Structure 1
Amino acid sequence: MNFSISVFLGTLCSILAVILASFLVEKKFPKRSRPGRKTWWLIAHIFFVVLYFSGLLGTLLLSLSTAFVDRSGLIYAAHLFIQFFDWFLIIPGAFGSLITGFGLAVGTWGITRHYWVIAKWVGNSLAILFGAMCMRVWIHDSFPILFADGMNPLQNPVYLENRRLLVMGTLVSLFLLTFLVVISYLKPWGKRKKYRRSRKSSAGRETAPSV
């Protein structure tokens, strides 16, 4: 329990550090960054999103595949690769997407100006916390019970429940990530009210006739 709390607090502090650093950097950047800089941030962001998707899809495929084999060695190998996916694809993809998403927003749309940008970094932060508190348990804590008492994992009710939760958690993560990708493309909901007012007032000053 103490370890889980430590993981949660460590992950939360990392997310807050990224958010705080992005706010501080945004104040020093111009409202519009150079096109070349934005392009590189976008490329990096897409790269980490692909990593994230790949890890989740691989985890879902392997966790489902264990329902169709009865050899303990194959089940163990599937969960070993699920761990690798988590360490080398899901975790880097999640944090990389969060960091590059802030880097892309700074100097372009802003971090708090548009509702869809706020929804993206809030959703990504929640996905990371969900992974740290739940997915981590279902992925990494399943190893000690794979061969408990010499029992085949498919005859172990603890393992079966763990696998069911892992599949459901992966589906939830995939749904959330898909939702974030969709709103990145559609950019719904527009700007926050105070930024719409400031834009209208500045436009009014520019069009006002001089005396």
Structure 2
Amino acid sequence: MKQIGLTGKAWLKGFHIFFACLWIGAALSMILLSFFRGQLANGDELWAVNASIKMIDDFIIIPSAMGCLITGILFSWLTNWGFFKFPWIIVKYVITVGAILFGTFYLGTWVNGMEAISKVERLAALQNSTYLQYAKLNLYFGSFQAFTLIVAAFLSVFKPWGKRGKINKKHNIKASST
């Protein structure tokens, strides 16, 4: 397989970082918006907060998550990083795919449910047990997911654990000198 050159790799890295920033920033924005729920004066405000969270999810989270996944796959395919050469890359794929799946089947469902309930019930949604359960689950698991995305970003920076199947020379030198 032909690999891309330095300029292509720089563009790909730039887009990957851009999508990661969007994804993490949008996730943190959704968490921050959720803290307004208990301080709202009327049902229109509650629905507006939930509609805003849903818009961020639909138009920033989903495209940026897919952008991260696609640029990550292209990085593995078109550069010497590969798909399985380094444990940190495997962990990043697990985090990315896990976050996309969990977001699709759980977080997104809860966001959509909160928006739908608050659109109909307005401020009374704060008394609705389903709405409150969705809000609690979304806050806890959304915060955890945002944290794991930040961990994935730091994995890209530190690239821990060396190459799979080979002893790290630096580690081997330290071990033999003791």
TM-score in terms of structure 1 length = 0.74
Instruction: For residue 169 of structure 1, report the CA deviation from its aligned partner.
Output: 1.9
Match of 2:65 in 1: 94
Partner of residue 127, structure 1: 99
Contact 1:79 1:139 in 2 (8 A): yes
Identical aligned residues as a percent: 32
Deviations 1:31-72 (A, max 9, x none): xx3111110000000110111012111111111111111311
Q: Hey, what's the Cα distance between the residues in 1 that align with 2:99 and 2:40?
A: 30
**Does the 8 Å contact 1:70/1:154 carry over to 2?**
no
Distance 1:53 1:187 in 2: 19
Aligned-pair CA distance for 1:143: 2.8
Q: Structure 2: any 5+ residue segments left out of the alignment?
A: 170-178
Decide which structure has the larger Cα Rg and report it: 1
Aligned residue runs from structure 1 range 32-181, under 5 A: 33-106=4-77, 107-146=79-118, 152-181=124-153
Question: 1:146 aligns to what SS in structure 2?
Answer: helix
Query: Do the aligned partners of 2:43 and 2:122 also contact (CA within 8 Å) in 1?
Result: no
Offset from partner CA, 1:128-152 (integer Å, 9 cap, x none):
0000110111100223322666762
Letter in 2 for 1:62: L
| Contact 2:76–2:82 (Cα < 8 Å) also in 1 | yes
Structural RMSD (CA): 1.9
Task: Report Cα offsets for 1:85-107 as digits up to 9, x if no partner.
Answer: 01111001111001111212331
| Aligned-partner residue type, residue 59 of structure 1 | M
Q: Report the residue type matching 2:40 in the other structure.
A: V
Equivalent residue for 1:29?
2
Size of the alignment, in residue pairs? 167
Unaligned runs of 5+ in 1: 1-27, 201-211
Tell me how far apart the structure 1 counterparts of residues 135 and 57 of structure 2 sit (CA, whole Å): 15
Cα offsets for 1:151-205 (capped at 9, x unmatched):
6222222211211111112101111101101111110111111xx38xx9xxxxx
AA at the equivalent of 2:111: I
Residues 160 and 135 of structure 1: CA distance in aligned 2, closer, same or farther (over 3 Å): same
What is the identity, as a one-letter code, of the residue corresponding to 1:192? R
CA distance in 1, matches of 2:92, 2:115: 33
1:182 paired with 2:154, answer yes
Query: Contact (CA 8 Å) 2:126, 2:132: kept in 1 or not?
Result: yes
Deviation at 1:75, TM superposition (A): 0.5
Taking the aligned partners of 2:121 and 2:99, their CA distance within structure 1 comes to: 35
State whether residues 114 and 190 of structure 1, in contact with CA within 8 Å, keep that contact through their aligned partners in structure 2: yes
